[in-house]
Structure formats: structure tokens, C-alpha cells
């Protein structure tokens, strides 16, 4: 495997359970639980806020974010569109993308997931410069 700084998994879920997507406490639980599962370290408590309807493509959503020593995790839910968007970015390599996909399917019950996996920092220096 080539040297790279980290890995970034993006998840877009379609046709999710509206009630689960509208559950602030579920978003908060995930932001606390997922880092523990992967032995990542919180640098601050997770934050979940309600983003109001902007009159355009965002009809209001829960947005959550947690900063971890290994980078960050964010989740945005759109209950009225049955949609979620999440980012898991970690400098830990070889993250278990299949587990994370299954985890989000169990938590929000989307009918379909669209995922993208990106290796970040593919030219990251192996030593201080």
C-alpha cells in the first residue's frame, strides 16, 4: 500500500426513515459512539444543531460534528427529503468502510447508499521538512 495521510469516506443516504433522521439524540449518539468503535479520540464534545429551512434546497436539518484527534466526523440529516449526508475523515488508514456503511444503514434505514472513498494526502511527507 502506498503512503497516504488519511482516508475520507462520504456517505449519502436516500429514502431513510424520516423519524430517525429527525432524531437529534440519535445524531449525537452516533457522534459519540462511532469514534469509540474505531478507537479514535474526541478532542471536544460533539455538537448537534438544527439548521433552519433556507427556502432553497435545504428544508431544515440536523447538523452534527465532532472533532477527533484523527480528524472529524460530520452528519447532516434532511428528514423532509429522507436524506442524509455524512463524512468520516481519519488519519487512521484502512478504515472499515463496509462496517461504517452497515452502521449507517442500521441507524437511519436508508433504501440506498451512495458512498465515495478517497485516500487523502497521497504525497504526505514521511518526515518533517
Among residues 2, 76, 90, 126, the one annotated as catalytic is 76
Among residues 2, 71, 74, 85, the one annotated as catalytic is 71
According to DSSP, residue 43 is labeled: S
Locate 116 and state its grid cell: 465515495
Active site residue 76: yes
Active site residue 90: no
CA dist., res. 74 & res. 118, Å (int): 16
Among residues 63, 72, 74, 91, the one annotated as catalytic is 91
Q: Is the distance from CB of 118 to CB of 5 less than 8 angstroms?
A: no
Active site residue 126: no
State the catalytic residues: 71, 76, 91
Amino acid at each position: 500500500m502506498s503512503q497516504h495521510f488519511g482516508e475520507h469516506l462520504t456517505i449519502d443516504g436516500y429514502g431513510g426513515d424520516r423519524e430517525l433522521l429527525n432524531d437529534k439524540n440519535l445524531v449525537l449518539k452516533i457522534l459519540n459512539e462511532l469514534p469509540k468503535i474505531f478507537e479514535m479520540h474526541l478532542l471536544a464534545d460533539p455538537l448537534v444543531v438544527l439548521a433552519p429551512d433556507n427556502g432553497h434546497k435545504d428544508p431544515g436539518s440536523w447538523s452534527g460534528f465532532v472533532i477527533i484527534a484523527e480528524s472529524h466526523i460530520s452528519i447532516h440529516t434532511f428528514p423532509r427529503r429522507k436524506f442524509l449526508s455524512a463524512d468520516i475523515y481519519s488519519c487512521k488508514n484502512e478504515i472499515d468502510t463496509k462496517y461504517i456503511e452497515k452502521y449507517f444503514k442500521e441507524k437511519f434505514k436508508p433504501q440506498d447508499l451512495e458512498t465515495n472513498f478517497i485516500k487523502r494526502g497521497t504525497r504526505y511527507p514521511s518526515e518533517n521538512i
